[in-house]
Amino acid sequence: MPSNKSVSDAPIVQFTNCRILRDHQLQREDLWVREGKILNPEKLFFDEKGSADVQLDCKDSIIAPGFIDVQINGGFGVDFSLATDDFKSGIDLVSQKILSHGVTSFCPTLVTSPPSVYHQVLPQISVRNGGAHGAGVLGAHLEGPFISKEKKGAHPEHCLRTFEAGAFQDLLATYGSLDCVQIVTLAPEMRRSSEVIRELTKRGVCVSLGHSVANLSQAEEAVQHGATFITHLFNAMLPFHHRDPGIVGLLTSDKIPAGRRVFYGMISDGIHTNPAALRIAHRAHPKGLVLVTDAIAGMGLAPGRHTLGQQVVEIDGLNTYIAGTKTLSGSVATMDTCVRHFQEATGCSVETALEAASLHPAQLLGIEHKKGTLDYDSDADFLMLNDSLYVQATYIAGEEVWRQDVSGM
């Protein structure tokens, strides 16, 4: 039988003394990694007669898949909806800083902007793997401008658009390109939205429903045409009503096509959604819940005035408002904070809380074969956490990219 070296010369790292999140359970196993992938130890022992080159004692940590944030508008003074010549350095800064929050992949999110901003910014976003330089970029999330004026939230009204004749061409002209676009949030009650949803879905773009006054049948029709996500459930949509529950009704709709799952984003920061509403959503449709930060440029900065695209926002504690109003505008919560708050608010298991920030967003984007799990052959993007779900270390492709500094503690 060949030795492991004939298969690959790359070192094999064995993480010991840990509990691994696998198959929805924390399991007391070792984690084996080689060349950025998670190894099946049985194959290693029996087929390759191989063994570990390096052993790392995890000191009873939890090992969970890296978090995936599919809605993040910026952070640390960087606003993804502001067109600048050094936009790439802004992406680099945020991707580096969010490693400490346990985020290993993300979708830079642009709020409603003029076409000129999309034309300048989108060519500067490129899908890339994560590493020591920062979290991986999965593609852009374009939230607007094809959304409802009544539910615009923090989006600038003068930039909102409707679908005219040749709706999909209109969308292409607005954005300039869909090359690096992963998600588009739109209001499904708009005329001609069905053809747009079908075209986007055909091109592999995830369509999300949000900033909308859609009733339930309009939302169901959008799902039948290919929409699979709801942008920050409860926020910027009609409130639940027992005779017509609106978009919220998708969580228990019997009109979802067979074999399809509707996912929904939740900003679990204790401000955007009351804990009781978080519990209702989670109990109604636990497998669809995706934690998002909806973080803005002010995340990681002191309170005061910051931007969100075309608007000025004020941060007061964990509250962020459009300046001079009480309109909420994104959050300053970090992903690890959202995971802890979600677990505390719902009383769910540790496994459930961690999967809402890893497995579910990966399933939403159709990348669960390589991200969001610790299955064999998937990418070795993972976190070490303590029992209170504080991140101790972040790994991408099996390499440590961030560790909590414990000196002086």
Q: How far apart are CA 291 and CA 354, in angstroms?
A: 9
For 174, the token pair is 């607005």
SS3 55: strand
20 and 141 housed in the same domain: no
Q: Check whether 324 is labelled as a binding-site residue.
A: no
Q: Which residues are catalytic?
A: 294
How big is the chain, counted in residues?
409
pLDDT of residue 133: 96
Specify if 248 maps to a domain: yes
pLDDT of residue 4: 44
Interacting residues of 224 by C-beta distance below 8 A, sequence separation 6+: 255, 257
221 and 79 housed in the same domain: yes
Q: Is the pLDDT of residue 385 over 60?
A: yes
Residue 317's pLDDT band (boundaries 50, 70, 90)?
confident
pLDDT tens for 103-127 read 999 999 999 999 999 999 999 999 9
Q: Is the pLDDT of residue 2 over 60?
A: no
pLDDT of residue 139: 98
For 270, the token pair is 């204790």
Q: How far apart are CA 28 and CA 18, in angstroms?
A: 6
Contact 132, 399 (CB under 8 A): yes
Q: Check whether 329 is labelled as a binding-site residue.
A: yes
pLDDT of residue 406: 72
| DSSP alpha helix (H) spans, 149-192 | 167-175
Q: Check whether 298 is labelled as a binding-site residue.
A: no
Q: Which domain holds residue 48?
A: 4-64+373-403
DSSP 8-state symbol, 53: S
Specify if 172 maps to a domain: yes
Q: Check whether 211 is labelled as a binding-site residue.
A: yes
For 58, the token pair is 């995890």
Mean pLDDT of 232-246: 96
60 and 186 housed in the same domain: no
Q: Check whether 314 is labelled as a binding-site residue.
A: no
149 and 237 housed in the same domain: yes
Residue 5's pLDDT band (boundaries 50, 70, 90)?
very low
Closest CA to 262 of 292, 294, 220: 220
pLDDT of residue 43: 87
pLDDT cut 90: percent of the chain above it: 91
pLDDT of residue 7: 62
16 and 145 housed in the same domain: no
250 and 261 housed in the same domain: yes
pLDDT cut 70: percent of the chain above it: 98
Specify if 99 maps to a domain: yes
Q: Check whether 355 is labelled as a binding-site residue.
A: no
Q: Check whether 192 is labelled as a binding-site residue.
A: no
Interacting residues of 22 by C-beta distance below 8 A, sequence separation 6+: 29, 373, 374, 375
pLDDT tens for 127-178 read 999 999 999 999 999 999 999 999 999 999 999 999 999 999 999 999 999 9
Q: What is the CATH number of the domain that holds 14?
A: 2.30.40.10
Q: 325 vs 92, 145, 273, 314, 329, CA distance in Å?
A: 32, 21, 19, 9, 10
pLDDT of residue 408: 44
DSSP 8-state symbol, 134: B
Interacting residues of 309 by C-beta distance below 8 A, sequence separation 6+: 73, 79, 81, 82, 110, 111, 112, 113, 117, 155, 156
Contact 151, 212 (CB under 8 A): yes
55 and 130 housed in the same domain: no
How, if at all, do strands 78-79 and 74-75 pair? antiparallel
Q: Is 408 exposed, middle or buried (0-12, 13-18, 19+ CB in 10 A)?
A: exposed
Closest CA to 276 of 212, 352, 347: 347
311 and 293 housed in the same domain: yes
Closest CA to 286 of 270, 266, 257: 266
Specify if 409 maps to a domain: no
Specify if 231 maps to a domain: yes
Q: How far apart are CA 152 and CA 52, in angstroms?
A: 55
Specify if 408 maps to a domain: no
Q: 286 vs 45, 225, 329, CA distance in Å?
A: 38, 23, 26
Q: Check whether 330 is labelled as a binding-site residue.
A: yes
pLDDT tens for 322-377 read 999 999 999 999 999 999 999 999 999 999 999 999 999 999 999 999 999 999 99
358 and 305 housed in the same domain: yes
9 and 137 housed in the same domain: no
Beta bridge partners of 32: 14
Q: How far apart are CA 182 and CA 202, in angstroms?
A: 12
Contact 54, 14 (CB under 8 A): yes
Q: What is the CATH number of the domain that holds 72?
A: 3.20.20.140
213 and 303 housed in the same domain: yes
Per the structure, the count of domains in the chain is: 2
| Chain centre distance of CA 237 | 20
Q: Is the pLDDT of residue 310 over 80?
A: yes
238 and 97 housed in the same domain: yes
